[in-house]
Amino acid sequence: MEDKDQYEREQGGGTLPGEAEVAPPPESSEGLAGGRARHTSLSLGLATIFLAMGLLLGVVLTWYWLQGSAAQAEVAGELKPAAQTTSMPLMPDVRPVYKSVAPGVVGISTRVNTPFHAGLGPVPQGSGSGIVLDREGHILTNYHVVKGAAQLTVSMPDGTQVEGQVLGSDAGNDLAVVQVKVPAAKLHPLTLGNSDTVEIGEAAIAIGNPYGLDRTVTAGIISGKGRAMPATNGRTMGDLIQTDAAINPGNSGGPLVNSQGEVIGINTAVEQGANGIGFAIPINTARQVLDRLMAGEKVEHAWLGIGIISVTDQVARQYSLSVNKGAMVAQVMPTSPAATAGLVGAEARGQTPDVIVAVDGRAVSTGDELTAYLGSRSVGNTVALTVNRGGKSVEIKATLAAWPDELP
């Protein structure tokens, strides 16, 4: 009513710009009806305009809302771009690899004689895995799996259990070859790859018998190369392959393979206290000694008999050294070639430890360099060591011995 009264007041008593004021005509029933009709017509026109504007605004807002929802859905992955639908998965399908490799993986369990069970025969020691090399029954595994075994049982993929015999061993590289006598049809030799071509980030698949769970498969990637860790006899194994494929007790001696099913490493150890850090011996390291192992040889490595620390500025200050690079002698093993040659270690009281700065005329900047060179020498070789002793250069010769199974 307020709008109607206002409308009637404006129509009845107002003036238009530029017009003279005139007296309103006397009201009649026909005038009132005409005013109401004009008021109704105008109201309907305004309502129509507002309705059209509302519809238009609704369409615009709905369009913007749909655009925003589509963008959010694309970010969230609800709407995938065409490029994503054709991308390759990060990890290849390991099923065909497993089917081709698992038949060439065996389980190995050992029993040992102990003084605590004298007269009772060998007692269980542990278990591991092995890689079938050929149809003559040669199986590659870790030395620590078969070390000290009085009895050795090999579980074949078909469930058959047979006695195995250790032919050759290489404690310094944690390798051994076992032989079984079974029909050739029971043996599925695996293909050995080339570990030198392995690249960080490529797929890695481990197959073995962790905790006695035969032919378990785990998958990951090559996480690193050139890692080092000691073997059971204390010798440093270098150039190890690092992987995040799960490796557990019982996987030792089993294969680490690539996506083509080729053996690129022999699983050997994990980093204690860490998750997803395992190590494998490169298959090319095994290739270098396989013939000797299958021939029944015990592979020996040259031994100087010292513990070393790479010299840094901090080490030089701590031990009052006059050089800031080289291999400092941290320890000299008793009865070792180093002890016979007269090398002085950090454990010697009242003396500055020797620093080896060259070997056979080759400069030595780090402990790794010295270790690598000595590893290339043979038992019985004599090496010339240039030593910095208290600021003076001293020449010392040492004849390398065989690395012992147990360090003194």
Tens-digit pLDDT profile for residues 62-77:
665 656 555 554 444 4
Q: Cβ distance 177 to 231 under 8 Å?
A: no
| Fold (CATH) for 302-402 | Pdz3 Domain (2.30.42)
Residue 406: per-residue pLDDT: 85
Residue 41: per-residue pLDDT: 55
Position 120 pLDDT exceeds 80: no
Mean pLDDT, residues 138-150 taken together: 95
Label residue 286 by pLDDT band (50, 70, 90). very high
Position 371 pLDDT exceeds 60: yes
Mean pLDDT, residues 269-285 taken together: 91
* Residue carrying structure tokens 């180093």: 338
Tens-digit pLDDT profile for residues 233-250:
999 998 999 999 999 989
Mean pLDDT, residues 226-238 taken together: 91
Tens-digit pLDDT profile for residues 22-48:
334 444 444 444 444 455 555 556 656
Mean pLDDT value across the chain: 83
> In Å, how far are 95, 96, 251, 256, 282 from 205, measured between CA atoms?
11, 12, 12, 6, 14
Residue 190: per-residue pLDDT: 98
Position 300 pLDDT exceeds 50: yes
- Which of 36-45, 215-224, 228-237 has the largest mean confidence? 215-224
Which of 6-10, 280-284, 338-342 is least confident? Answer: 6-10
Position 3 pLDDT exceeds 70: no
Residue 215: per-residue pLDDT: 87
| Fold (CATH) for 88-299 | Thrombin, subunit H (2.40.10)
Selected residue with higher pLDDT from 115 and 7: 115
Residue 126: per-residue pLDDT: 81
The tokens for 225 are 């190369």
Catalytic residues: 144, 174, 252
Tens-digit pLDDT profile for residues 312-359:
999 999 999 999 999 999 999 999 999 999 999 999 888 999 999 999
